[in-house]
Amino acid sequence: MNLVKFILIFIVAITLQARENPFVATEAYIEEKSILEEKLQETIKPFEFLQIALYAQKSILNISNHKLFRYFKITKEKKIVLDYKGSKKIITKIVKPKSNGDIKSITIADHPEENYFRIVIQYHKNIDKHNIEYENNLTTINF
């Protein structure tokens, strides 16, 4: 009987220690929630060299073998302009995402005379707080 009491007290003590306050979100829950928020909404592949992944809070452009050398914002027109080295000899293409996200359109155009191509992303909403990061052929736009 004493052994049973000891085991029950031990189990209760471990359970209480494992979860001090059941009403406070655990780190695992917060991490799972952030993963769900970053659920992929749509993938667009307008050309063989370009793949665009659209998420709820960011866009990721995967451009093989071309380096981002310049980017800027046109705030009044709600556009982000990305210039990549190397001409692709492509015809201008405008893509409108099927998902009802923040992006209105994506335009890809070549500037062979200056050896670069440009991607212009136009948004429905203000772009003041958009942040652009570039690493290993991936351009990430956080908003």
CATH number of the domain encompassing residue 78: 2.60.40
What domain count does the chain have? 1
- Tokens representing 138 are 């991936």
Q: Mean pLDDT check: name the lowest of 33-47, 66-80, 106-120.
A: 33-47
User: In this structure, is residue 50 part of a structural domain?
Assistant: yes
Read off φ and ψ for residue 42, nearest 5 degrees. -165, 150
Residue 8 confidence (pLDDT): 72
In a domain, 123, yes or no: yes
- Only one residue has tokens 């059941």, namely 22
What is the C-alpha to C-alpha distance for residues 104 and 52, in angstroms, rounded to an integer? 14
Q: What is the pTM of this model?
A: 0.72
Minimum mean pLDDT range among 35-49, 55-69, 96-110 = 35-49
Q: How far apart are CA 63 and CA 49, in angstroms?
A: 6
Whether residue 19 is predicted with pLDDT greater than 80 in this model: the reply is no
- Examine residue 32 and state whether it is found in any structural domain, yes or no: no
Q: Is residue 23 part of a domain?
A: no
Is there a domain that residue 26 lies in? no
Spatial contact of 107 and 92, defined as CB atoms under 8 Å apart: yes
Q: Which domain holds residue 78?
A: 38-142
Q: Does residue 131 belong to any structural domain of this protein?
A: yes
Tell me how far apart the alpha carbons of residues 134 and 65 are, in angstroms, rounded to a whole number.
13
Q: Answer whether residue 17 is part of any domain.
A: no
